[in-house]
Homo-oligomer: A and B are copies of this chain.
Amino acid sequence: MKRVITFGEIMLRLAPEGYGRFVQARSYGASYGGGEANVAVSLASFGVDAAFVTKLPGHEIGQAAINALREFGVDTSLIVRGGERVGIYFLEKGASQRPSKVIYDRARSAIAEAECSDFDWPGIFKNAGWFHFTGITPALSDKAAAICLEACEAARAGGLGVSCDLNYRKNLWSKEKAGEVMGRLMRYVDLCIANEEDLGDVFGVTAPGSDITGGVISREGYAEAAKLLAGRFGLKQTAITLRESISASDNNWAAMLFDGKDCFFSKKYPVHIVDRVGGGDSFGAALIYGTLRGMDARERLEFAAAASCLKHSIEGDFNLVSLEEVEKLARGDGSGRVQR
């Protein structure tokens, strides 16, 4: 299967144990994660040759981030070392009516301060067949956005498929700026992934009939939105994850895929949440995998929905599941009976 390159930021994730609040924390569970890094780990778990590209400081916290990726089989040899700090995000896990809370402390991380000259994209893309990034990376800084653009151009030049998860982050940039920058990058994108809020935030495309906080989702509305987006940017695939948030403990999870012709909706999974961070990333990774393996549209949508359903049961950003586990769920066994 083709080699995949993902590019973005990997952060130190600090989360109080269990359902502890920030003000109760006497220790933080430490792991690493970030949209594109999570995608790389998912792909490596499925057996794909996946490399993650970023810039990380030379000190031990930077090294620990690299080790976390290596541990799960991601190629880290393309990572540039330098800069001052590793971005951090603090995560407080919600329960019942209390939402999870994220405090970002990622400004001026090594990758946000990186220069175009740090990355030789034609070299990076040698032997690679796919490139993935998210809307977080160009939001980090103007320099990061410029690097993204260079990467997209090199990807096109190199004949790679390109995927992008919109992933709008309101504390990184305004909707206006996001729309402008992402609009430019989308011209290079084959597969666009978004969640139920991103489309509106970034491109002003809303799904009529849906009320996100109220948990109402309109299938027709999303189908329309996907078609509109696909038309605007010439996308080959447009996928939207559909989360119905009943509470911080229980969600319904599904997704839709528009392949330029038809609109498919996956099975809907009622999930009892262990950790929902990285749910969208695990969906995107599985969709890339399905695309690379040549699954048909319905099959790759169900594969991606099953993979990301499982993510909700796993601690940390990374979706540490095997191909077999995803396939078993996609085939329909969600009974959770003990495997001996």
Interface residues of A, Cβ cutoff 8 Å to B? 14, 17-31, 59-61, 63-64, 67-68, 70-73, 84-86, 88, 90, 92, 94-105, 107-108, 169-171, 212-215, 245-250, 269-274, 276-277, 306, 309-310, 312-316, 320-321, 325, 329, 333-340
B61 touches A22 (CB 8 A): yes
Give the residues in chain B near A105, CB-CB below 8 Å.
61, 84-86, 88
Interface of A is mostly: loop
Give the residues in chain B near A321, CB-CB below 8 Å.
98
Give the residues in chain B near A72, CB-CB below 8 Å.
23, 67, 70
B336 touches A64 (CB 8 A): no
B19 touches A60 (CB 8 A): no
A274 touches B95 (CB 8 A): yes
Choose among B14, B84, B338 the residue that contacts A101 (Cβ–Cβ < 8 A).
B338
Give the residues in chain B near A100, CB-CB below 8 Å.
336, 338-339
Closest residue on chain B to residue A95 by CB atoms: B313
A329 CA to B336 CA in the complex, in Å? 26
Closest residue on chain B to residue A92 by CB atoms: B60
B26 touches A274 (CB 8 A): no
A63 CA to B47 CA in the complex, in Å? 13
